Amino acid sequence: MYVAVKGGETAIAHSLDFVADKRRGDRGIDELSLAQIDQQLGLAVDRVMTEGSCYDRSLAALAIKQARGDLIEAIFLLRAYRTTLPRFGDSQPLDTTAMLAERRISSTFKDVPGGQVLGPTYDYTHRLLDFSLAAAGERPTAPTAPADTARGLPRVGDILEREGMLEPPPEAASPEDLTRKPLTLPASRPVRLQNLARGDEGFLLALGYSTQRGYGNNHPFVGEIRYGRVPVSFVPEELGFEITIAEIEVTECDMVNQFAGSHDVPPQFTRGYGLAFGHSERKAMAMALVDRALRAEELSEAATSPAQDEEFVLAHSDNVEASGFVQHLKLPHYVDFQSELVVVRALCEEVEARRRQAALDQAAE
Amino acid sequence: MADASPQDGGYNYAYLDEQTKRMIRRAILKAVAVPGYQVPFGGREMPLPYGWGTGGIQVTAAIIGRDDTLKVIDQGADDTTNAVSIRRFFAKVAGVATTTRTEEATVIQTRHRVPETPLRDGQILVFQVPIPEPLRMLEPRETETRTLHALAEYGVMQVSLYESIARHGRISKAYNYPVLVNGRYIMSPSPIPKFDNPKLDRSPALQLYGAGREKRIYAVPPYTPVKSLDFEDHPFEIEQWSECCALCGSSDSFLDEMIVDDSGQRLFVCSDTDYCERRQAAAEAAE
């Protein structure tokens, strides 16, 4: 008689088969391997690892394959896997001065100790479609120079800081973890940074952009962006000393911002910080802008714009949450809608009855 | 409890790891101890999307055991897509027995309805909650609303109901109708129609409410007073239909409206499919 929105087991099973079939696409075309996704769609893998909060290239590649390239869906898949993993401890803070940098630039100085290293970037490409990529073929390899592993790469910010021009980085604090404990407000800066690191790149990009257009302006300069490999250290309880357990690729952005000074603090430059897995400059920069914007209250600035509103930003940055809640509108809501129908009809009938009564009253007069 | 379940990838029994379940159970205990109070908990990503019942699923995953029988409904029906999906999820990861019969279930996870069949002692009703904060649409800031709850400063809610009367001549809130639990906390009953609100009052079943995206759990213990907010001269009332169910003839259940042809002909049927089927079977047996 009517089946409307009611779908049984069979319909769902068929839908699952259909999406699996769509995923594979034309069987006459070679199936993607995880290694191909990792190597040739590496920036997508980087984004999925960053917002999925899980550094594992092959799992991220698998998620991208399973999600048919829908990166938010892939992030969701990776998160839902990550959340079931046991925790055995916190790593030591990353020392990014120990980075083997493939890229390192500063826009605040013409040259800096360690040099401006352009590395692999789209910054200087002309965005012309390269039709030669449409065909398979041998590609030239890039010239390389031996990496200078002998010395660390000083941070530009540290140089400014020694001069008293830039605020020092915050005191080391014990790590908190948003994925274990719910967000409470006001949030500490480490929690805010974790939220932003997991936050949607597009959302942070738009918020960061809004600060540049007058909605919470904080006059940013790229103190430094660096991208490369850093060691991850861990102190196992049973050993009691630090061991290196991995090497990961990260992008770090140290944003330097003007600050007019307040009652207690003289005018100086302040920091916004961004860190992302892999090569994710847009994300790291947007994160740094929003981090700085969220420090408005701490720095006694007037917080008048969305990017400076901690609760607004932190509550809406997560694309897995946002995507889920927006798309849940596809679920049936007919019971609530029925309730609304009953109320609205009753209201309409009352209006109609009043109108009729008024007409009668008028006729009687 | 920590034995590995047979499904792919070596996930733990009922998907969540035991540490997480313990954390959720602690939150549930606190919620039961302070009826209507929203307890923050470390909500996890679930393999189903936020907004599709992740809070309810986490609560169910934390309380369910091998001896339980699970019923899942959405809009009152056992055969709606999301109910089917969640029931399949638990059948898979917890190997739990499932049922559509309200009285057979020990745990009932629901979205948007309370079953028509009266619940009994020992049953647990798990609600999926999108927005746990009843004051959210009046005050968007969590920092503010937590203070309002702490001070039991609920004037803003009374005013909003009063404004509704001033504007429409009656309280026009149709679902997610706010309730006062145990005379202390104003609580969102989740988006159930107000028709279901009276069933929450002094219910013999334990009511657990899980909000996954918002990371809150709250509860109404058995036999706890749950009062729908109203005014003396505008008492709380529930929806009424002039029709009765076209299938089972019920005149006191919540009815869904079906448009059955192009000319907009309507038919009314029970939203609670189990209740309706049982009544039809009983009528048939009586003939």
CATH number at residue B201: 3.40.50.11310
**What distances in angstroms separate CA A349 from CA A132, A345, A346, A362, B168, one per listed residue?**
69, 6, 5, 20, 12
B38 and B60 fall within a common domain: yes
Q: Is A13 on the interface with B (CB under 8 A)?
A: no
- Do B255 and B215 share a domain, yes or no? no
Question: Side chain identity at B113, as an amino acid letter?
Answer: R
Q: What is the pLDDT of residues A265-297, one digit of tens each?
A: 778 899 999 999 999 999 999 999 999 999 999
- Mean pLDDT throughout B223-230? 98
- Both B89 and B163 in a single domain? yes
- Has residue B68 been placed in a domain? yes
Is there a catalytic annotation at residue B244? no
The reply to whether B233 falls in a domain is no
Place A211 in a pLDDT band, splitting at 50, 70 and 90: very high
pLDDT for residue A259: 77
- pLDDT tens for each residue of B22-46: 999 999 999 999 999 999 999 998 9
What confidence score (pLDDT) does residue B6 get? 43
Which tens digits make up the pLDDT trace of A302-342?
899 999 999 999 999 999 999 999 999 998 899 999 999 99
Q: In chain A, which residue ranges form alpha helices assigned H by DSSP?
A: 9-24, 34-40, 42-52, 57-66, 71-82, 156-162, 189-198, 201-212, 281-293, 310-316, 319-327, 334-364
Q: Which of B56, B76, B212, B248 is catalytic?
A: B248
pLDDT more than 70, % of chain A: 96
pLDDT band at B9 (very low <50, low <70, confident <90, very high): low
pLDDT at B104: 97
Boundaries of every domain in chain A:
9-82, 96-120+149-317
Q: Is B77 on the interface with A (CB under 8 A)?
A: yes
Q: Using a CB-CB distance cutoff of 8 angstroms, which residues of chain B are in contact with residue A326?
A: 51
Where a domain ends, among B226, B253, B271?
Answer: B226
Of B9, B47, B75, Cβ closest to residue A334: B75
Are residues B284 and B174 part of one domain?
Answer: no
Structural domain harbouring B278: 240-287
This prediction's pTM: 0.86
Mean pLDDT, rounded, of chain B: 93
Mean pLDDT, residues B134-160 = 94
Interchain CB contact of B280 with A (< 8 Å): no
Same domain, B210 and B277: no
Residue B1, pLDDT above cutoff 70? no
Task: Identify the pLDDT of residue A37.
Answer: 98
Q: Is A320 on the interface with B (CB under 8 A)?
A: yes
In a domain, B231, yes or no: no
The pLDDT value recorded for residue A219 is 83
For A32-36, B7-11, B15-19, which range has the lowest pLDDT when averaged over its residues? Answer: B7-11
Q: How many domains does chain B have?
A: 2
pLDDT at B4 over 60: no
Chain B contact set for A339 (CB, 8 A): 174-175, 193-195, 239
Instruction: Tell me: pLDDT of A150 over 90.
Output: no
On whether both B160 and B208 belong to a single domain, the answer is yes
Between positions 241 and 300 of A, the ones with CB within 8 A of B are none
Q: Residue B280 is inside which H or E element, if any?
A: helix B273-286
For the stretch B71-112, pLDDT in tens is: 999 999 998 888 999 999 999 899 999 999 999 999 999 999
Q: Do A5 and B192 touch (CB under 8 A)?
A: no
Q: Is residue B3 part of a domain?
A: no
| Record: contact B175-A315, CB cut-off 8 A | no
Angle between helix B18-33 and B54-63 (nearest 10): 100
Does some domain include residue B216? yes
Q: Is B213 on the interface with A (CB under 8 A)?
A: yes
Predicted local distance difference test score (pLDDT) of residue A153: 84
Question: What is the SS3 assignment for B198?
Answer: helix
Instruction: Verify that B147 and B271 share a domain, yes or no.
Output: no
The answer to whether B270 is a known catalytic residue is: yes
The answer on pLDDT for B190 being more than 80 is yes
Catalytic-role residue among B42, B245, B249, B264: B245
Better-scored residue on pLDDT, A293 or A218:
A293
B276 given a catalytic annotation: yes
Using CA coordinates, name the residue in chain A closest to B14: A84
The active-site residue out of B53, B55, B56, B270 is B270
- What pLDDT, on a 0 to 100 scale, did the predictor assign at position A4? 44
Residue type, B214: E
Determine, yes or no, domain membership for B235.
no
Backbone angles phi, psi at B268, to 5 degrees: -110, 130
Residue A213: predicted pLDDT: 85
Asked, for residue B234, whether it belongs to a domain, the answer is no
Tell me: pLDDT of A6 over 90.
no
Q: Is the same domain home to B20 and B86?
A: yes
